[in-house]
């Protein structure tokens, strides 16, 4: 058995009985001093978890060899780098100038202007027609929403209580019976015969007797809270309807603007074509003369 300081303890714990003649001489050297170079020596190094031995050098050599072999092996391919824009790598973003060269063609005559393909594509493009079609589709979609909102307001304005078709039967009363009625009874009967002026929307969404839906009273079901929630909901519905109306008005303005732009573009194109035709005719007359 070896102690951490590699001192023999056979004198302290003999295995075959104790004999004074077999006592081991007291070691002169203390600790690890002087025995580090002997064969099979093991001693602890500062900063290491386990004791360092003679095989440590071989293990370090194997690790260095393994690292060199790994460096010689082909490395795994990395994922491709993201694409980069060369014109933005060394220039401010957005660039001060366009990344493509400016057009060098300067039209000095109407005929060259009409013959240019880029000009023809600009004046004969279907972009305005597509924008107008998209605008009409949005307006038609809002029309469906408008009809749904109108139907909702119509339903909420109708009285949910069924009305009796047959007129109420008024029994003839004797004068004596009428005189016998007290003033309170007469007032109560007049109020009972009076029409109900409660708005239909309150009849639909408010509970006057305050019965809880879940069978128990709650502060959320008080008449004041119910009426406040109903008014907020109606305000949101009216705001939504106003936003839809304003949205349709803006779409109509955009459609009118597209029509004006298309009319101006077609007028300019027709004028340029007429002048180009006159130029070609004049050039033909000069060549013939």
pLDDT for 221 equals 66
Distance of alpha carbon 102 from alpha carbon 92, whole angstroms: 19
Mean per-residue pLDDT, 32-52: 60
User: Dihedral of CA 47/48/52/56: which sign?
Assistant: negative
> pLDDT: is 173 or 232 the higher one?
232
Does the pLDDT at position 287 exceed 90?
Answer: no
Cα 262 vs. chain centroid, distance in angstroms? 36
Q: What is the pLDDT of residues 150-194, one digit of tens each?
A: 898 888 888 767 665 555 555 555 555 555 556 667 677 666 666
Mean per-residue pLDDT, 263-273: 93
String of DSSP letters for 187-246: HHHHHHHSPP---HHHHHH--TT---TTSS--GGGSHHHHHHHHHHHHHHHHHHHHHHHH
pLDDT for 214 equals 46
Chain mean pLDDT for the chain: 74
pLDDT for 68 equals 92
pLDDT for 115 equals 87
Task: List the domain boundaries for the chain.
Answer: 110-159+181-288
Does the pLDDT at position 44 exceed 70?
Answer: no
> pLDDT: is 1 or 199 the higher one?
199
Mean per-residue pLDDT, 39-54: 60
Q: Do residues 42 and 5 touch, judged by C-beta distance below 8 A?
A: no
Q: What is the pLDDT of residues 52-78, one digit of tens each?
A: 666 777 888 899 999 999 888 887 777
> pLDDT: is 227 or 238 the higher one?
238
pLDDT for 222 equals 75
Does the pLDDT at position 117 exceed 70?
Answer: yes
Residue 135, number of CB atoms within 10 A of its CB = 19
Distance of alpha carbon 179 from alpha carbon 173, whole angstroms: 10
Give the angle 116-121-127 at the CA atoms, nearest 5°. Answer: 165
**pLDDT category, 118, cuts 50, 70, 90?**
confident
DSSP label at residue 22? G
Please state which of the ranges 21-25, 102-106, 194-198 shows the lowest mean pLDDT: 21-25
């Amino acid at each position: 058995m070896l102690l951490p300081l590699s001192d023999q303890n056979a004198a302290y714990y003999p295995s075959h009985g104790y004999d004074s003649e077999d006592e081991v001489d007291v070691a002169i050297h203390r600790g690890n001093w002087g025995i580090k170079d002997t064969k099979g020596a093991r001693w602890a190094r500062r900063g290491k978890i386990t004791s360092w031995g003679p095989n440590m050098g071989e293990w370090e050599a194997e690790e260095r060899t393994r690292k060199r072999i790994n460096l010689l092996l082909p490395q795994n391919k990395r994922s491709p780098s993201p694409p980069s824009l060369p014109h933005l790598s060394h220039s401010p973003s957005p660039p001060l100038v366009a990344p493509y060269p400016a057009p060098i063609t300067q039209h000095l005559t109407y005929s060259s202007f009409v013959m240019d393909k880029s000009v023809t594509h600009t004046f004969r493009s279907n972009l305005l027609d597509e924008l107008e079609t998209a605008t009409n589709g949005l307006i038609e979609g809002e029309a469906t929403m408008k009809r749904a909102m109108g139907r909702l307001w119509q339903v909420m304005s109708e009285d949910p209580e069924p009305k009796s078709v047959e007129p109420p039967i008024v029994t003839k009363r004797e004068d004596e019976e009428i005189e016998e009625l007290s003033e309170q009874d007469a007032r109560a009967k007049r109020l009972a015969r009076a029409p109900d002026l409660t708005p239909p929307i309150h009849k639909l969404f408010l509970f006057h007797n305050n019965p809880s839906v879940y069978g128990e009273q709650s502060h959320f079901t008080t008449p004041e809270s119910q009426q406040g929630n109903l008014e907020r909901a109606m305000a949101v519905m009216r705001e939504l309807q106003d936003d839809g109306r304003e949205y349709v008005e803006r779409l109509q303005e955009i459609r009118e603007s597209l029509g004006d732009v298309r009319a101006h573009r077609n007028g300019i194109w027709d004028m340029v074509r007429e002048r180009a035709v006159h130029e070609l005719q004049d050039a033909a007359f000069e060549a013939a003369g």
